[in-house]
Amino acid sequence: MNADAIVLQTPPGAPFTFGVTIDGRGPRSFQVTEPGQDERRHELARVEQPDYLDLFEALARDLGTRMPLARTPPPPRNGGAPLRPLLTEAIAPEILYGYGDPCVVRVGERAWRLLVTSNDAPNAFPILASGDLATWRLTGFVFPEGRAPAWALTGCDRADFWAPEMHRVGNECWLCFTARMQDRSLAIGLARGASPDGPFEAEHAPIVTGDVIDAHILVDAHGTPWLVWKKDDNGVWPRRLAALLHREPALVRELFVARKDQRTAVLALTLWPWVATLEPMEQFFVLQPLIEAATAEFAGFAGRLDELRARARACGAEAEEIAGISRALRTRIYAQRLSADGRRLEGEPAVILENDQPWEAHLIEGVWITQEGGRYYLLYAGNDFSTAYYGIGAAVADAPTGPYRKSSEVLLSSSEEWWGPGHPSVAVGADGRHHVFLHAFRPGAVGYKAFRALLAAPIRFEGGVVSLETSVWPAARPDPG
Amino acid at 55: L
Q: Please, what is the average pLDDT of the chain? A: 92
- In this prediction, residue 372 carries a pLDDT of 95
The H-or-E segment that residue 70 falls in is none
Helical residues (DSSP H) of 316-399, grouped into ranges: 319-328
- In this prediction, residue 423 carries a pLDDT of 98
- Rounding to the nearest 10 degrees, give the CA dihedral for residues 350, 356, 357, 362: 100
Helix (H, G, I), strand (E, B) or coil at 165: strand
Sheet holding 111-115, edge to edge: 103-108, 111-115, 124-130, 136-143
For residue 463, name the pLDDT band (cuts at 50, 70, 90): very high
For residue 204, name the pLDDT band (cuts at 50, 70, 90): very high
Look up the CATH architecture of domain 84-234+329-468: 5 Propeller (2.115)
For residue 175, give every residue at least 6 positions away whose Cβ sits within 8 Å of its Cβ, in sequence order, or none: 115, 142, 164, 165, 166, 190, 191, 192, 193, 200
The 8 Å CB, 24+ separation contacts for 216-219 are 216/165, 216/176, 216/367, 216/368, 216/369, 217/165, 217/167, 217/169, 217/174, 217/176, 217/338, 218/335, 218/369, 218/371, 218/376, 218/400, 219/167, 219/169
Helix (H, G, I), strand (E, B) or coil at 347: strand
Residue 75 per-residue DSSP state: P
Q: Is the pLDDT of residue 481 over 60?
A: no
Q: What is the Cα–Cα distance from 271 to 275, expressed in whole angstroms?
A: 6
Q: Is the pLDDT of residue 474 over 50?
A: no
Give the mean pLDDT of 235-255: 95
Q: What is the Cα–Cα distance from 12 to 342, expressed in whole angstroms?
A: 54
- In this prediction, residue 294 carries a pLDDT of 96
Tens of pLDDT, residues 368-421 = 999 999 999 999 999 999 999 999 999 999 999 999 999 988 999 998 889 999
Whole-angstrom CA distances from 191 to 165, 342, 427, 439, 464 are: 10, 9, 21, 24, 33
Give the mean pLDDT of 225-241: 95
Tens of pLDDT, residues 323-359 = 999 999 999 999 999 999 999 999 999 999 999 999 9
- In this prediction, residue 77 carries a pLDDT of 61
- In this prediction, residue 469 carries a pLDDT of 80
For residue 315, name the pLDDT band (cuts at 50, 70, 90): low
For residue 201, give every residue at least 6 positions away whose Cβ sits within 8 Å of its Cβ, in sequence order, or none: 191, 192, 193
Among residues 356, 363, 334, 347, the alpha carbon closest in space to that of 218 is found at 334
For residue 98, name the pLDDT band (cuts at 50, 70, 90): very high
Q: What is the Cα–Cα distance from 171 to 158, expressed in whole angstroms?
A: 35
Tens of pLDDT, residues 29-88 = 999 999 988 888 999 988 999 999 999 999 999 999 999 999 887 766 654 567 999 999
Q: Determine contact, residues 101/439, Cβ cutoff 8 Å.
A: yes
Quickly count: other Cβ atoms within 10 Å of residue 432's Cβ.
6
Quickly count: other Cβ atoms within 10 Å of residue 254's Cβ.
13
Among residues 327, 331, 319, the alpha carbon closest in space to that of 362 is found at 331
CATH 2.115.10.20 domain extents, the chain: 84-234+329-468
